[in-house]
Chain A
């Protein structure tokens, strides 16, 4: 087992949105830790609350309930000044490189904004720092006076990474940073993220829905379904021996680059659609589509427990 300390601890985090008279339980009671220097992958289908979880952990949304600890210190009760200081520690990389850069600002100003807000550098030093950050993400420092629309998707995503790195954070939430990019550029960005992690000792929460990419970059992987976390394990353990039926179904959908194996591969095809998060099924949220559903799945919510050392799951099969 890993002896590294916990950088982030999430305790019973909940984030509900009220829409009219209904409540959308986007994140419903999740708890986990992220160790210093590791990459935690978070997977799940669209609308399962993984982006909301990432944003709530950074306090971009106010949590409905629960707590997030950074280096053992709760960030939920920090006042505005303390929170501003805390933001230097935790940053975010966004999904859509076309929407995440202000089209009216030059690249230099976009990256420099972090320096301005926290008063990190001014004048010539600011310019040097911006150029240094651009070089760090393999962009031409001379391009700092250009506008975002002049760059390609991959280049824009690297600008977003440079912006996040400007405050020298310890923790970065990567919110599907590669899903809007071409496959050829995805590898480039993922490799850059890995290099930076090694160089600067960064900790990532890597949100994605591409399972092979998550396996490649993550040390541990968490699986979410309808606002709940259903399984969390070391990357290898999860991919070799998935415990939760949902994880098993997800993994069975990964194509294997070997025609022989691919032809005989058995896929678990889930029936139906994801139920509305406004009105989730009783008990285990997954029971309506679960091939192994039992009567008790409808009766009670499965407990989140450590089934094997370091391997957590919430399923009645293991109670």
Chain B
């Protein structure tokens, strides 16, 4: 048996102050998201892929001696080699080089479309949700009507009016693309604006500006960012698709869509001309989607099954 001495029966001091102490390190919402994100290997791999893609798209065309438009008819349809890593196309242009120029176009379209969707969607949805009632009704019906116009029709009409190019594609994608974001933001704001912390801010005398930008938007930021991260791949895909069917960027600009289109007839004999752009389209869209999924799980762990 243990020797019990008198000291063992000394009362331990209980300090009420100590009961209030919080031992865990402080964790903000976003550091918590990052902690969950790091545990998701697929999402992290996708993130690394996306970062590498962005870096390469910026750096590669700048470092390599070739350019995307110089033709070399003597060296057309060359197999991948040490000189031309991904081979050459029917005009002797370096496919590797064109892939990275295409990546620039794709990322530009993806990020620009997502950014414009974000701005319009948050403002539109935010105002509709915040003011509610009649304002909400009118604003969301306008969005519904826009959404009902077939998107391919809008694109073709725009192509008639505007010059084909990256700018036109971005306009075509955002003309209806922001509606998804607006709906998400409106739903979030409607849900949040009746929460007690918003009421508390109102009872302190907060104005609409403070309510929207300090209380409502920061709390809706999770779903907004997730929607944003899923807008990027759909915009990239739409650009590739439009370029593929001949509605997108025109020669000599390289886009993954136009490259696939040009590579398609030669698929049997020069498969690299189709394979490489196709692989890049698929990998990029997959990576963005997996990253978006991971982000959604990290932002709202309750959604995960």
* Shortest CB distance B295–A (Å): 17
A113 contacts across to B, CB distance below 8 A: 201, 204, 206, 214
Does B24 make an interface contact (CB < 8 A)? Answer: yes
Q: Which of B15-23, B114-122, B236-244, B257-265 contacts A (4 or more CB under 8 A)?
A: B15-23
* Cβ contacts under 8 Å, B26 to chain A: 145-147, 150
Q: Does B40 contact A (CB under 8 A)?
A: no
CB 8 Å contact bits of B191-216 with A (1 = contact, 0 = none): 00001110111111110001000110
Taking the nearest CB of chain A, how far is it from the CB of B59, in angstroms? 36
Q: Closest CB-CB distance, A165 to chain B, in whole Å?
A: 11
B151 to chain A: closest CB distance in Å? 35
A214 within 8 A of B: no
Contacts of B197 in A (CB 8 A): 99-103
Q: A117 near B219 (CB under 8 angstroms)?
A: no
Report if A32 contacts B (CB, 8 A): no
**Cβ of B65 < 8 Å from any Cβ of A?**
no
Docked complex: A19-50 residues within 8 A CB-CB of B: none
| A150 CA / B23 CA spacing, docked (Å) | 10
The answer to whether B204 touches A87 (Cβ under 8 A) is: yes
Q: Given A103-B29, A150-B26, is A140 in contact with B17 using a C-beta cutoff of 8 Å?
A: yes
Q: Is B28 an interface residue (CB 8 A)?
A: yes
Cα A138 to Cα B17 in complex, Å, equals 8
B27 contacts the other chain (CB 8 A): yes
Give the docked Cα–Cα distance between A150 and B24 (Å).
Answer: 8
Interface centre among B20, B28, B221 (most CB of A within 10 A): B20
Q: How far is the CB of A226 from chain B (nearest CB, A)?
A: 23
Q: Are A95 and B20 in contact (CB under 8 A)?
A: no
B21 x A140 contact (CB < 8 A): yes
- CB within 8 Å of B: which A123-161 residues: 138-140, 143, 145-147, 150-151, 155, 160
* CA of A160 to CA of B197, assembled, Å: 9
A60 with B195, Cβ < 8 A, contacts A140-B17, A145-B26 known: no
The answer to whether B150 has its CB under 8 Å from any CB of chain A is: no
B218 within 8 A of A: yes
Chain B residues with Cβ under 8 A from A203's Cβ?
Answer: none
The B-contacting residues of A in range 164-185, CB under 8 angstroms, are: 167
- Name which residue of chain B comes closest to A166, CB basis: B204
Choice from B17, B29, B203 contacting A60 with Cβ under 8 Å? B203
- Chain A min CB distance to B28 (Å): 6
Within 8 Å CB of A100, what residues of B? 196-197, 199-200
Q: A99-B196, A150-B26 are in contact. Are A58 and B219 (CB under 8 A)?
A: no
The reply on A233 being an interface residue by CB < 8 A is no
Give residues of chain B (158-186) contacting chain A, Cβ–Cβ below 8 Å.
none
User: For the complex, what is the distance from the CA of A167 to the CA of B206, rounded to whole Å?
Assistant: 13
Nearest CB in chain A: distance from B25 CB, A: 9
Q: Which residues of A contact B199 (CB under 8 A)?
A: 55, 60, 92, 94, 100
- CA–CA, A58 to B204, complex, Å? 10
CA distance A88 to B201 in the complex (A): 12
Distance in angstroms from A101 CB to nearest chain B CB is 6
B255 CB to nearest A CB, Å: 40
CB distance from A31 to the nearest CB of B (A): 23
With contacts A103-B219, A104-B218, A138-B20 taken as known, whether A147 is within 8 angstroms of B28 at the C-beta atoms is yes
Task: Please tell me if A118 contacts chain B, counting CB pairs below 8 Å.
Answer: yes
Known contacts: A83-B205, A87-B205, A138-B20. The answer to whether A94 contacts B27 by CB under 8 A is no
**Contact in complex: B22, A151 (CB < 8 Å):** yes
Say if the beta carbon of A84 comes within 8 Å of chain B: yes
The verdict on A10 contacting chain B, using a C-beta distance below 8 Å, is no
Known: A91-B203, A113-B204. A139 touches B27 (CB 8 A): no
Chain B residues within an 8 Å CB radius of A143: 22
List the A side residues contacting B201 at CB < 8 Å.
Answer: 102, 113
Inter-subunit contact A150/B27 (CB<8 Å): yes
Chain A: CB-nearest residue to B218: A104
Query: Which chain B residues lie closer than 8 Å to A138 at the CB level?
Result: 20
With a cutoff of 8 Å between Cβ atoms, the chain A residues found around residue B24 in the complex are 150
Most buried by A among B17, B196, B204: B204
| CB within 8 Å for A117 and B200 given contacts A104-B218, A147-B28 | no
Among all A-B residue pairs, the 5 with the closest Cβ atoms = A100-B196, A87-B205, A84-B205, A104-B218, A99-B196
**Residues of A bordering B, CB below 8 Å:** 55, 58, 60, 83-84, 87-88, 90-92, 94-96, 99-105, 113-114, 117-118, 138-140, 143, 145-147, 150-151, 155, 160, 163, 167
- The contact sample of 30 A-B pairs, CB cut-off 8 A, is A60-B202, A60-B203, A87-B203, A87-B205, A92-B199, A94-B200, A96-B196, A99-B196, A100-B196, A100-B199, A101-B197, A102-B218, A102-B219, A104-B218, A104-B221, A113-B201, A113-B214, A117-B206, A138-B20, A139-B20, A140-B21, A143-B22, A146-B26, A147-B27, A147-B28, A147-B29, A150-B24, A150-B27, A163-B204, A167-B204
